[in-house]
């Protein structure tokens, strides 16, 4: 069991990649898995049922620092400690550069970049008091190359990749900070995209395949566990080889 007795908080954790991470953590022995959501009560209830007694759902908009602080307080009140933070919550809208307006820009960066910063700031005191902690930021290949659903999304993820490095430098040696940058993953985010566009992405990748949420969960688990104890400040691209560094 890679996470025996540990407690994790996963933002955006009730569907897609977030839910896959939550279930993988529980399977690896996590004593508590707090899953954050912002809107869907139905998906939150489903995820809680899948996690059983170790699961805990907590509603918060991660772009609001007051709600983030309350979310962390609720998690600590439930489990008494917090070992792992997974910043997975994100938002976007498919549109061209010209269609990105001030409201969309502000909202996307608020959730995708400000949110992880607020969450990191909120958990650091507890992790330092414990003497150990791990943070994993779920980014995107849109932060590596100028691709993705919108300019706002791509820029937010590029910022998140650099936040990973900055936080790793600032918070070591007590807290490790790493990131995972998925490529095409078959979640509801991509459900409405034309199959032809998805197939073109698949053919550009050496492995000629798209990913499943569980593929990303495996990478997050690696960084969350002591198997990566000598790694910090890194963002791992998980995309079948489409974007190589």
Place of tokens 């490095």: 165
Residue 80 backbone dihedrals phi, psi, to 5 degrees: 85, -10
The question of whether 153 is a catalytic residue gets the answer: yes
Cα–Cα distance list, 26 to 6, 10, 30, 102, 103 (Å): 10, 12, 5, 40, 37
Cα–Cα distance list, 240 to 10, 173, 185, 221 (Å): 24, 32, 10, 18
Place of tokens 């307006």: 101
Sheet holding 55-59, edge to edge: 55-59, 32-37, 7-10, 84-87, 133-138, 175-182, 235-238
CA quadruple 27, 28, 33, 39: dihedral sign: negative
Strand-strand pairing, 7-10 and 175-182:
unpaired
What DSSP state is assigned to residue 134? E
Cα 173 to Cα 65: distance, rounded to the nearest angstrom:
25
Give the active site residue among 37, 94, 153, 243. Answer: 153
In order, the DSSP letters of 21-72 are: HHHHHHHTT-SEEEEEESS-HHHHHHHHHHHGGGEEEEE--TTSHHHHHHHH
Tokens of 163: 């936040």
Which residue numbers are catalytic? 153
């Amino acid at each position: 069991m890679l996470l025996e007795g540990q407690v994790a908080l996963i933002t955006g954790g009730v569907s897609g990649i977030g839910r896959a991470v939550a279930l993988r953590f529980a399977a690896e022995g996590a004593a508590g898995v707090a899953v954050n959501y912002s809107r869907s009560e139905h998906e939150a209830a489903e995820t809680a049922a899948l996690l059983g007694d170790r699961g805990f759902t907590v509603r918060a908009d991660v772009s609001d620092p007051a709600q983030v602080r309350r979310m962390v307080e609720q998690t600590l009140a439930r489990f008494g400690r917090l070992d792992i933070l997974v910043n997975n919550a994100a938002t976007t809208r498919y549109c061209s550069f010209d269609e990105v307006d001030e409201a969309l820009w502000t909202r996307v960066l608020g959730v995708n970049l400000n949110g992880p910063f607020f969450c990191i700031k909120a958990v650091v005191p507890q992790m330092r008091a414990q003497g150990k902690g791990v943070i994993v930021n779920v980014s995107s290949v849109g932060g590596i190359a100028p691709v993705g659903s919108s300019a706002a999304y791509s820029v937010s993820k590029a910022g998140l990749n650099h936040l990973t490095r900055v936080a790793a430098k600032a918070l070591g040696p007590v807290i490790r900070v790493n990131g995972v940058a998925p490529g095409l993953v078959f979640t509801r985010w991509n459900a409405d995209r034309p199959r032809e566009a998805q197939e073109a992405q698949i053919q550009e990748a050496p492995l000629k395949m798209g990913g499943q949420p569980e593929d990303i969960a495996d990478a997050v688990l690696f960084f969350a566990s002591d198997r990566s104890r000598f790694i910090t400040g890194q963002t791992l691209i998980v995309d079948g080889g489409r974007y190589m560094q």
